Amino acid sequence: MPSYVVKENVSLDKRWVSEITPKAEDFSKWYLDVVRKAELADYGSVKGCMIIRPYGYGIWERARDLLDRRIKDSGHENAYFPLFIPESALKKEAEHVKGFAPEVAWVTRGGNEELEEPLAIRPTSEAIICPMYAKWVRSYRDLPILINQWANVVRWEKVTRPFLRTTEFLWQEGHTVHATAEEAQDETLRILEIYREFVETELAIPVVKGLKTERERFAGALQTYAIEALMTDGRALQAGTSHNLGQHFAKAFDIRFEDENQQMQYGWSTSWGVSTRLVGAIIMTHGDDSGLIVPPHVAPIQVIIVPISAGNWKETVLPHARSLLEKLRAAGIRCKLDDRDNYTPGWKFADWEMRGVPVRCEIGPKDIEKKQVVLVRRDNREKAFVPMEGLESRLTAMLEQVQDALFRKACEFRDKNTTNVDTFPVFEEMMESRPGFLRCFWCGSAECETAVKEKTSATIRVIPFGADEEKGTCVFCGKEAISRVLFAKAY
């Protein structure tokens, strides 16, 4: 982290961030250091469970609210369904239960008594929601059902990492039922586009939309679509999924309706979701060796005000800083005043840099004389001397500039690290030596897909939309390909 001296001759105290491992040295350790030092999360007493601390939850809360608005604007309503699923319900869709069996946690006792039927703690909610839809749907007039819930789920993971993969995590899961296959497919793709726009606009993370292969699709789904992002260590992260469930769950749970011709039909359903792993995506996409960088749209604190503690600053500077805080909050800017007197300004600078607050606002005695403040951007550390008059509009514009710059930088990284590869020796070499997405021809064979994973640990992340327009031969077996696909090592 470069050091520099601000106008009040207060330099960054680098000792606070010295405990963060450099990204290039050990990316995994860097990630855990940032989670810990920025107080995003901590480990719980149960293995694999995390405590989301207020600052980390603030990021999730902000992202949740922005996505929730989009979900509601698209015609969906929020509801809540139970945490527990009877074993008999979970087993109704065979492929579904087979896919989740290794991850299911079970409750077998209630108080001092053995339960007559074990209860699964939801790994996903199709098996608890579908029986209710079977009860509620009688006629085509009852359709579509467009319901979303914000909830927690439990999946008994063997290897965990805060936000990215934990035993319990938070998410939203939408579950819809439609009268026709076309309506269900339209819903699946509409939600996928909502996810893309949300992640790119609000989290400043570029993604690739596409279809999952049969091997990678959701258990019990007809088709699974996903948005994939590229982290700065070159690994992919699945940022959201949307599933066309066809009639599989409708037939398993007897979701039927009388159509306009008085004929009984099975419904067509979808499910879709994103989770708290998006917080991990923010860390890995935008963070640097000094710590976190939070996109302004989801930052719990967009501007941190740091008064320069020189002389009798509590009488001279602090009142102006408090007035500034009220002024910015009245303008709708999420800001905080760091008026702690047991830390130096340099220590505070480093602390808030590490926490990734988009803009730092410094105010000292000389600034008050000149009726100005010093604004420092977190993303590029550019400094600006800005008059107090009209500060609100200048800050609002600066926050949007930071948001846009973070997205452009992430796009540049993704594009620079996306490569067309047509031979398997080159594929193996690149997967071993450099990060990124590899765009390769694939024949459609599950055998080739499995062999590539066994040899390189890389998987097909998605078949990107429009990829079938190119013709070539499979990167592994040399047979005629169906399309280019996106390979990567993934979280």
**H/E segment holding residue 225:** strand 223-230
Sign of CA dihedral 386, 392, 396, 397: negative
Q: What is the pLDDT of residue 310?
A: 79
Q: Could you check whether the bond before residue 144 is cis, i.e. omega within 30 degrees of 0?
A: yes
Where does 29-286 sit in CATH, by number?
3.30.930.10
- Provide the Cα torsion 33, 274, 223, 265; round to 10°: 160
Tokens 């996109």 sit at which residue?
A: 295
Domain 418-488 in the same topology as domain 296-395 = no
The whole-angstrom separation of Cα 404 and Cα 414 is 15
The predicted-structure confidence for 99-152, as pLDDT tens digits, reads as follows 788 899 999 999 999 999 999 999 999 999 999 999 999 999 999 999 999 999
pLDDT tens profile 8-48:
445 666 555 568 999 999 999 999 999 999 999 999 999 89
Q: Tell me the chain's radius of gyration from C-alpha atoms.
A: 25
In degrees, to the nearest 5, what angle opens at C-alpha 129 toward C-alphas 126 and 133?
Answer: 120
Main-chain dihedrals φ then ψ at residue 165, nearest 5 degrees: -160, 105
**What is the model's pLDDT at position 209?**
98
User: Could you tell me the residue ranges of all domains in the chain?
Assistant: 29-286, 296-395, 418-488
In this structure, which topology does domain 296-395 adopt according to CATH?
Answer: Rossmann fold (3.40.50)
CA angle 60/64/66 to nearest 5° reads 120
Architecture of the CATH domain 418-488: 2-Layer Sandwich (3.30)
Please give the angle made by the CA atoms of 91, 93 and 99, to the nearest 5 degrees. Answer: 80
Tell me 470's DSSP state. S
Strands 105-110 and 236-246: unpaired
Nearest to 231 by CA among 277, 198, 173, 300: 277
Report DSSP state, residue 490.
B
Q: How many residues can be counted in the chain?
A: 491
Given this model, what pLDDT does residue 199 score?
98
Q: What is the pLDDT of residue 1?
A: 32
**Average pLDDT score, the chain:** 94
Q: What beta strand segments (E) does 84-222 contain?
A: 84-86, 105-110, 113-121, 145-154, 168-178, 208-211
Residue 6's pLDDT is 37
pLDDT score for 424: 97
Residues 269, 147 contacting (CB under 8 angstroms): no
CA 273 to CA 149: how far, in whole Å? 10
* DSSP codes joined into one string, 10-56: -B--GGGGTTSPPTTT-HHHHHHHHHHHTTSEEE-SSTT-EEE-HHH
Look at residue 158 in the predicted model and tell me its pLDDT: 87
Q: Profile the chain (491 residues) by mean pLDDT over runs of 10 residues.
A: 38 65 96 97 93 98 98 98 94 79 93 96 95 97 98 93 96 98 98 98 98 94 97 97 97 97 98 98 98 98 95 92 97 97 93 98 95 97 96 98 98 97 96 91 97 97 88 96 96 94
